[in-house]
Amino acid sequence: MNAHATAMGAPPGLDHCPLMPTYGAPTVQFVRGEGCRLWDRDGTRYLDFLAGLAVVGLGHAHPEVADAIAEQARTLVHVSNLFGTVPGGEVAITLDRLLGGGGQVFFSNSGAEANECAIKLARKFGGHGRHEVISAYGSFHGRTLAALAATGQPAKWEAFQPLPDGFRHVPWNDLDALEAAIGPSVAAVLLEPVQGEGGVNPATAHYFEGVRRLCDERGLLFMVDEVQTGLGRTGEWFGFQHFGVEPDVVTLAKALGNGMPIGACWARRDVAAAFEPGDHATTYGGQPLAAAAALAVLGVMERDHAPSLAEHAGSHLRHALQALPQVAEVRGLGLLLAAELVPGIDARRVAADALAAGLVVNAVTPSALRLAPPLVVTPDEIDEGVAVLADLLADAARRTEAGQP
């Protein structure tokens, strides 16, 4: 138990937390993290292969990020976005450089808010009568209403009708279907390089190249959602860089703060110019504390070349998973992978059993596990995690053969 918890008395148990039931009932309360490791309130140690949904790219409690947060907390935490701050300005400069330059940045608190900014920007840039955004089935762009409407998973928005209009969905990686959906009211196309929440399904280079061409021909914005894939996770700084295209708008969040809430919407300068003062705003987005964390994250990632970390660790993890007889397919890029399990094995049960065995993963579909460890995961830690999975999958296969649940 940490010092704070001891001073304040024992923390409340899971049965006494008045939390809305928007998530499944939690079974573990984590109290500490270090690198790829987590500890629960009972002192049990876990190996984290989820990184807080691909957020903690540099691992838990990274010392340089922690020092930056502590120093900023003692210096300046908030002034509103009516004023500039040094860390916010430096993060914007760094992101613009990593994205090729020539753009401008709006800071938000999350990836959903970054996508909200992109959608509003597309509508303003498109002008009267051009407001529709095309996205793909299987996509995930956030839980706010417009981001939810852009999300191509009907199960996530059926209960919240009516959604804002102006959104169309087309089959993933189907260029002909996208072209057929483009009408005079379409302002932009919004796609992920890898559909993370949709099952870790990468785009093809042919698809992204074709989308770029169509957007150029029809005068549309090509907006890329890098919320989960950005900042090294796929083996490139940004997922779209695998496909040799340059988008007009890029949204990101998750890894940017390594756990501190910060998102960003980057746009080409001429596109960003569609916004005027008062068109869009946020109270907390990019405030100094979060920006200081992001600046430290970017500094460490550039120094340690985060894309190479993900590429090497991802290759090791991919090969280890492919050797498991119960894994039918491994898909994804870099260190954002899915293990598609052979028919009959329930990925959700495997994920629950893994947690009980000290390994944190999640089931991104009923038949697929998502694996997104911190980029700093070591080969020994990968071998350790895959060994846990190997035992669990062997047990699951035996149950399946025996006709047991």
* 3-state SS assignment for residue 164: coil
Residue keyed to tokens 């005079």: 184
Helix, strand and coil percent figures for the chain, each rounded to 5: 40, 20, 40
Question: Is 140 a catalytic site residue?
Answer: yes
Question: Could you tell me where the DSSP H helices lie in 250-356?
Answer: 269-272, 288-304, 306-322, 347-356
Q: Are 112 and 130 in contact (CB under 8 A)?
A: no
Terminal Cα distance for the chain, rounded: 37
| C-alpha to C-alpha distance for 320 and 81, rounded to whole angstroms | 47
| Catalytic member of 140, 238, 240, 243 | 140
Provide the 8-state DSSP code for 60.
B
Catalytic status, residue 160: no
What CA–CA distance (Å, rounded) separates 260 from 297? Answer: 10
CA angle 161/164/168 to nearest 5° reads: 95
Q: Cβ distance 48 to 37 under 8 Å?
A: yes
d(CA 237, CA 231): 5
**Does residue 353 carry a catalytic annotation?**
no
Which of the following is catalytic: 106, 167, 208, 225?
225
Go through 294-305 and write b for each residue having 16 or more CB atoms within 10 A of its CB, e for each that does not: bbbbbebbeeee
- Is residue 51 within 8 Å of residue 254, measured between CB atoms? no
In angstroms, rounded to a whole number, what is the distance separating the alpha carbons of residues 285 and 107?
5
Here the tokens at position 223 are 């907006």
b/e map of 356-372 (b: 16 or more CB within 10 Å)? eebbbbbbbbebbbbbb
| Positions marked active-site | 140, 225, 254
